[in-house]
Amino acid sequence: MNQAKRQSRKLGWRFVVLAVVVIFVLLALVRNVWVDVYFIPSESMEPLLLSGDRVLVSRTSFATEAIERGDVVVFDGRGSFAPLKSGAGPVADGITAAGQWLGLVPNNNIYVKRVLGVAGDTVKCCTDDGLLEVNGVPVSESYLYPGDEPSALNFEVSVPQGKLWLMGDHRNVSLDSRSLLGAPGGGLISTSRVIGSPIATVWPPGRMHGIDSDSPLP
């Protein structure tokens, strides 16, 4: 009888261990293929994303659609933005990388910014009226943080094939493509580095809502 009980306990523990392993594998699959959760540690994308937000990011946002001007993208900044070391991007919040559970270990290579220029575009700032200009057309940016100007730094850049020009919505505090003008790569990132797009804020409870991050530009 005692032997039967011990055997039953062993089988029970094995089932529990197997169930836990299966759950973690499924979570890893979901978060590496479809959706993931990221922590926003800075104010660079206010008012759309606030410091302390945890956002759900779709990894399939651009699987069938091209990245367009106005899209907000989460991307891997290695080889482009990583030298900023600014903490101006989201920090992975989950099991997509070892040691990053609940964002306790920051991943300073991941950022979130808005696309202002795609391949073939010329992005310039600023016009006589103080507006951003894309391909000679002044852009009215309704998503900007209240009181911010489009850019305190004057610039003009042409975006080559396979690259993006990115800027934060809170321009006065955002370290973005402008901050790397003159550096290797000129602040442009490769489209292949894009992870996805934020689709919802899932924490804190008072901030839970879907995110309409698209803001089409001419």
Distance between CA atoms of 208 and 203, rounded to whole angstroms? 6
- Residue 205 phi, psi dihedral angles, 5° rounding: -55, -40
The answer on pLDDT for 15 being more than 80 is no
Q: Which tens digits make up the pLDDT trace of 68-123?
A: 999 999 998 887 776 565 444 554 432 233 224 333 344 568 889 999 999 999 99
Catalytic residue among 61, 80, 86, 113: 113
Please report whether residue 216 resides in a domain.
Answer: no
Q: Is-catalytic flag, 113? A: yes
Q: How far apart are CA 161 and CA 50, in angstroms?
A: 32
Let me know whether 77 and 6 are in one domain: no
Judge if 27 and 67 occupy the same domain.
no
Whether residue 50 sits in one domain with residue 26:
no
**Structural domain includes residue 2:** yes
| pLDDT at residue 218, rounded to an integer | 58
Catalytic residue among 44, 86, 177, 197: 44
44 is catalytic: yes
- The boundaries of the domain holding residue 66 are 34-210
Q: Are residues 13 and 77 in the same domain?
A: no
